């Protein structure tokens, strides 16, 4: 029996495991890095132990230290979550040797599937269909390129030890092969310590469909249906759904049986996922097997009513599977949307910052939010930028999709750039509604998804004015600032504290708002209250009309009465920066003060600066080399992903200010660039 469980992970998956453990009466131990000392998973656990500094290599990847802590605390089992040590065969072996249950498959199964090339050979022998490709040990570039040339382009380069889109590149022509190979190898080495590559034929319109399998130590195995994970960016999933739409029952059964063949071929135990590419003609091909619980497991839980973490713990204790295949029923439809701190308008670059506002939609048995962060937490450069997983259920796909769209509109975050609006565009676009899914869905529908549907700022000016006035009246008491550090301690201007009383007149003030580099001006007249119980009222004059406005501000909620129509907004306020959010409104704006002649001169060229906090990986050119506009000059890594910084014009780099391996802050000037003379 497991009576005490250590969760060797962080974030939402650590919180998710702790919730089930508590339900089962199991004591929990959290581990944390210095950056996560105040994290949600630490607060949820019964005990917590510090591992080390923020970088994962110094904390969450320290298997020996985690195991030592587990032994010292008399832990019965370790749950690895996903990522980090979850597919580390050596760690699984060490747990077994130390008499600690590893809540996952045997080390032999992890090893068998840990190498994509070895996994392909095993699957071929087991009769599981494979995509044509090269999975050999000869890693000479000429050998890899010859295989690609023979297959014909496009091809897909994949890290043999990889997962999550790391070390993966599409190659569309022979000319692009070398650069793509070098980039994939670098990313694979950085992520997995191994740059062994596979080359596979790239299917141009496949779907990514995966089967959830479960096996116990007694020889039983089941599949809990499938998930469609086709909607991806950079080979990482952003919306998953279950079951896969337009999936004939016969195909579901064939794919499920093939997945069980794969699991039984390696004597699998526990939760696993077998991933397939489903082609347009109904044929499917094995991609890989993930020997752990998947990020997207909640959609399977929603359509089956099963707790997969509870299943994992039961199997780890040596118990038989809770249900057999004929007892598993598929009910309704579920979606999972991954809420990321990233900028879809800037190539999905990760975003860091403080979560000044974190207001998720109301949860129920139909709407679920799995998260590891709280309002006021920081999103740092050290870990994956996923904030939460939003999961919804409906009787059928249309009702589930409608619920997803509504819940996304009710998810309000400020302090970091997020992908919420992008997810709403995906959920609301016709191709997605019609389930026209492929792994290139985002690229194929980029015109629709990248369309900038701006908010009618003019219609929101009365509420913006009310928020600004009320937060100024109450903000000096730190009513809605995230914490004391967010409030300005400067001397307060007498104009900011001015009340509404004037001799023989009302007090009026002009407010200037800046929204995406456009300025809006409103005039706010403070009206005299009729009695002491009446809320302050204001007349707000804009270029499009005049409004009578009143309301209240309580923490991060603004109740606004605009011409007697009531609206509710989530709000944020840090310094002069404000955010106003509702189902169909997301406006970030700043309150502009009069220009007193400060220095507004520009410093440097934006193309020469780091787009985010990160680490320099490589210089791609030498000082003095002639380059063309758009040529990649150096590679940065942030949040486990590589990003190329390109030349702003024809010219040459005269100086690099940072060397490979050095950390840089977002906005730092990376190099000196001399453009060619006209």
Give the separation between CA 47 and CA 44, rounded to whole angstroms. Answer: 9
User: Could you give the CA distance from residue 517 to residue 20 in angstroms, rounded to a whole number?
Assistant: 47
Closest CA to 317 of 34, 2, 593, 604: 2
Neighbours of 428 (CB within 10 A): 16
Helices 308-316 and 11-23: crossing angle in degrees, nearest 10, is 70
- 47, 54, 64, 378, 578 from 58: Cα distances, Å: 21, 7, 11, 19, 37
**59 vs 51: CA distance, rounded Å:** 5
Cα atoms in the 13 Å half-sphere on the side-chain side of 332? 19
Candidates 272, 419, 442; CA nearest to 345 is 419
In whole angstroms, what is the distance from residue 656 CA to residue 601 CA? 24
For the chain, the first-to-last Cα distance in angstroms comes to 76
Choice among 227, 233, 252, 292 that is catalytic? 292
DSSP 234-298: TTEEEEEEESPTT--HHHHHHHHHHHHHHHHHTT--EEEEEEEEE-TTS-EEEEEEE-S--TTHH
Cα angle: 231, vertex 232, 237; to 5 degrees: 95
Quote the CA–CA distance of 460 and 541 in Å, as a whole number. Answer: 12
Q: How far apart, in Å, are the Cα atoms of 371 and each of 214, 295, 344, 386? A: 25, 12, 21, 9
Answer yes or no: are the C-beta atoms of 209 and 227 closer than 8 Å. Answer: yes
Cα–Cα distance measured from residue 261 to residue 375, given in angstroms and rounded to the nearest whole number = 45
CB atoms within 10 A of CB 626: 12
Please, are residues 271 and 363 in contact by the beta-carbon 8 Å criterion?
Answer: no
Q: Return the closest-CA partner of residue 329 out of 302, 363, 366.
A: 302
Kindly list the distances between the CA atom of residue 64 and the CA atoms of 92, 394, 399, in Å, as whole numbers in the listed order. 11, 44, 48
Specify whether the CB–CB gap between 311 and 271 falls below 8 A.
yes
Tell me how far apart the alpha carbons of residues 203 and 205 are, in angstroms, rounded to a whole number.
6
3-class secondary-structure state, position 146: helix
3-state SS assignment for residue 513: strand
Residue 80 CB-density burial (10 A; 0-12 exposed, 13-18 middle, 19+ buried): buried
* 480-507 residues labelled b (16+ CB within 10 A) or e (exposed): bbbeeebbeeeeeeeeeeeeeeeeeeee
Contacts for 485 with CB less than 8 Å, ≥ 6 apart: none
Q: Is the dihedral of CA 121, 124, 129, 135 positive or negative?
A: positive
Q: How many CB atoms lie within 10 A of CB 461?
A: 26
Known active-site residue 502: no
Q: Rounded distance, CA 22 to CA 5, Å?
A: 10
Q: Mind telling me the catalytic residues?
A: 292
């Amino acid at each position: 029996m497991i009576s005490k469980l250590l969760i060797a992970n962080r974030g939402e998956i650590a919180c998710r495991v702790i919730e089930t453990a508590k339900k089962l009466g199991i004591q929990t131990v959290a581990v944390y890095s210095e950056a996560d000392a105040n994290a949600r998973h630490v607060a949820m656990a019964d005990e917590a132990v510090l591992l080390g500094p923020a970088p994962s290599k110094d904390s969450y990847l320290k298997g020996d230290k985690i195991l030592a802590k587990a032994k010292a605390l008399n832990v019965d089992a370790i749950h690895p979550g996903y990522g980090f040590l979850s597919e580390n065969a050596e760690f699984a072996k060490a747990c077994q040797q130390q008499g600690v249950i590893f809540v996952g498959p045997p080390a032999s199964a992890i090893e068998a599937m840990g190498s994509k090339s070895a996994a392909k050979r095993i699957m071929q022998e087991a009769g599981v269909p494979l995509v044509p490709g090269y999975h050999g040990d000869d890693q000479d570039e000429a050998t890899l390129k010859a295989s690609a040339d023979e297959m014909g382009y496009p091809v897909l380069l994949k890290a043999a030890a990889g997962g999550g889109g790391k070390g993966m590149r599409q190659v569309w022509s022979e000319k692009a092969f070398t650069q793509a190979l070098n980039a994939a190898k670098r990313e694979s080495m950085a992520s997995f310590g191994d740059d062994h590559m596979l080359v596979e034929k790239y299917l141009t319109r496949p779907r990514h469909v995966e089967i959830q399998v479960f096996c116990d130590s007694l020889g039983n195995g089941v599949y809990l249906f499938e998930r469609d994970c086709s909607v991806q960016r950079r080979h990482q999933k952003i919306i998953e759904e279950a079951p896969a739409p337009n999936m004939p029952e016969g195909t579901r059964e064939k794919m499920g049986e093939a997945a069980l063949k794969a699991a039984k071929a390696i004597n699998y135990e526990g939760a696993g996922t077998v991933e397939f590419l489903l082609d347009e003609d109904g044929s499917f091909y094995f991609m890989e097997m993930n020997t752990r619980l998947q990020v997207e497991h909640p959609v399977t839980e929603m359509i089956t009513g099963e707790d997969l973490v509870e299943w994992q713990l039961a199997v780890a204790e040596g118990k038989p599977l809770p249900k057999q295949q004929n007892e598993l029923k598929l009910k309704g439809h579920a979606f999972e949307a991954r809420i990321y701190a990233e900028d879809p308008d800037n190539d999905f670059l990760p975003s860091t910052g403080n979560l000044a506002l974190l207001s998720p939609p109301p949860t129920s048995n139909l709407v679920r939010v799995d998260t590891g962060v709280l309002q006021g937490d920081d999103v740092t450069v050290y870990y994956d930028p996923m904030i939460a997983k939003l999961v919804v259920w409906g009787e059928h796909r249309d009702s589930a999709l409608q619920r997803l769209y509504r819940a996304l509109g009710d998810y309000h975050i400020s302090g970091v750039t997020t992908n919420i609006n992008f997810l709403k565009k995906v959920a609301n676009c016709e191709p997605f509604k019609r389930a026209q899914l492929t792994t290139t869905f985002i690229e194929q529908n980029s015109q629709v998804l990248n369309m900038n549907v701006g908010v009618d700022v003019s219609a929101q000016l009365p509420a913006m004015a009310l928020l600004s006035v009320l937060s100024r009246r109450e903000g000096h008491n730190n009513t809605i600032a995230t914490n004391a550090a967010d409030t300005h301690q400067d001397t307060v201007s007498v104009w900011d504290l001015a009340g509404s009383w004037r001799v023989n007149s009302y007090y009026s003030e002009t407010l200037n708002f800046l929204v995406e580099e456009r300025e809006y001006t409103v005039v706010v007249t403070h009206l005299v209250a009729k009695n002491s119980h009446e809320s302050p009222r204001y007349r707000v004059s804009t270029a499009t009309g005049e409004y009578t406005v009143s309301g209240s501000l309580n923490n991060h909620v603004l109740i606004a009465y605009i011409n007697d129509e009531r609206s509710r907004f989530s709000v944020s306020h840090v310094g002069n920066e404000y955010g106003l959010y509702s189902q169909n409104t997301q406006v970030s704006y700043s309150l502009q003060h009069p220009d007193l002649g400060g220095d507004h001169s520009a410093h440097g060229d934006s193309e020469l600066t780091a787009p985010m906090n990160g680490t320099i990986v490589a210089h791609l050119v030498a000082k003095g080399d002639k380059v063309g506009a758009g040529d990649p000059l150096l590679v940065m890594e942030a949040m486990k992903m590589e990003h190329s910084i390109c030349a702003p014009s024809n010219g040459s780099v005269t100086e690099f200010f940072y060397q490979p391996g050095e950390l840089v802050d977002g906005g730092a000037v990376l190099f000196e660039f001399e453009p060619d003379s006209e």
